Amino acid sequence: MHSSVTTQGNQRIMEDVPLSAIVQQFGSPCYAYSKKAISENFLDYQRALGSRDHLICYAVKSNSNIAVLQTLAKLGAGFDIVSVGELERVLMAGGDPTKVVYSGVAKTADEMRRALEVGIHCFNVESESELRLLNKTAAETHQLAPVSIRVNPDVDAKTHPYISTGLKENKFGIDINRAFEVYQQAAQMDNISVVGVDCHIGSQLTDITPFIDAMQHLLLLVDRLADSGIKLKHIDIGGGLGVRYQNETIPSLAIYMDALEPLLKGRIETLVMEPGRSITANAGILLTQVQVIKKNGDKNFAIVDAAMNDMLRPALYDAWMDINSAEIIADRTEDSYDVVGPVCETGDFLAKDRMLAITEGDYLYLSSAGAYGFTMSSNYNSRPRVAEVMVDGHQIHLVRARETIEDLVRGEQLIKEQ
């Protein structure tokens, strides 16, 4: 997938803009995204699927900034959403609701009504209870709800347990051994239109074997349904293709599609995919400034102004993310540092045991921060969330203003004394 930062002389560059120019203009910490990298990563999917009938639904949860969604909508992307808030973001960004698939394990009747109102492509139903509620809600609004049932194939994606979604012990989907019965129930419901099957086995996959195993399970179900008179229009294989954070070997999209092709040869169903991380992760960075260099015995700390509330992945998943200086300064000696934030938690770190040639005041950037970065950020310790910018050639666009203290307390009220 396309990365966002290159080196020119002693400067790190995003497209045609030095990283130092971004922080000088917009402050630190700050998320920066490359419009070109986002676009090329999406177009790689389009090229890999070629002439096969397909729909690429970007997973909004990975990065939901409306400028990112706008960029993808203009390229013809569909969208995979998990809340009505994500649906409204897609609509604000100019996304086509007929290309939206609605996933998630706890959709409410109100959320279903809104999705039916705007005419989404389909609901990825994750339980029998949800199916009954959707049928009832669609009847109340005199509509027919398009449904794809998310099946859980019990395939081990061999990824971090927190982002594995295809095993029996995970909360997602319907056991594939019960799926046929559930499809039979759905087909009998007056306000349900069965249109597809959906599967998502996990995130950050670096091996295509689990995808192939999952597809084989899906196709057996699809053919059994067809024999019973239920013919599906699409097969949704989900997302999950990983990115390179450290030294992972990531299969190309061409290799992935070449492996799927023998299974799909001669089939007429539309292939739906839900990529997220592989489109935005390596297109974004988190810029941060070194505030304090601190030595505790044999341990060196670089205390920066970004924290776990800005980028949760290292603390939550013990995720390794590359970190480097925004400018290369000659004649400096490298040393080993833990790069930590100012939040009052021992788990507040961005990187551990990294060789860096830095001093107080330097700017660093955390690579591959364009997915599951800002979307998972919070106001813990009453810290305003950071700015987001989009780089497009020589231009820098502010796509989210830095929060203020007033933003933090908006909606809160003091108790009026009697």
List active site positions: 344
CB-side neighbour CA atoms (13 Å) of 17: 23
Q: Which two tokens stand for residue 191?
A: 């306000």
Q: Which two tokens stand for residue 344?
A: 């009052």
> Strand runs (DSSP E) across 297-410, as ranges?
299-304, 323-325, 335-340, 349-356, 363-366, 387-392, 395-400
User: Residue 303: how many CB atoms within 10 A of its CB?
Assistant: 18
Cα separations (Å) of 333 from 299, 300, 328, 358? 16, 14, 12, 8
Burial class (CB in 10 A: 0-12, 13-18, 19+), 320: middle
Q: Can you name the residues that pair with 294 across neighbouring β-strands? A: 301
Contact 305, 342 (CB under 8 A): yes
Three-state DSSP class for 34? strand
Ordered alpha helix ranges (H), 125-276: 128-140, 176-188, 209-227, 253-264
Residues 348-356: contacts with CB within 8 Å, 24+ apart?
348/307, 348/308, 348/315, 349/308, 349/314, 349/315, 350/288, 350/304, 350/306, 350/308, 350/311, 350/314, 350/321, 350/323, 351/314, 351/320, 351/321, 351/323, 354/323, 356/302, 356/323, 356/324, 356/325
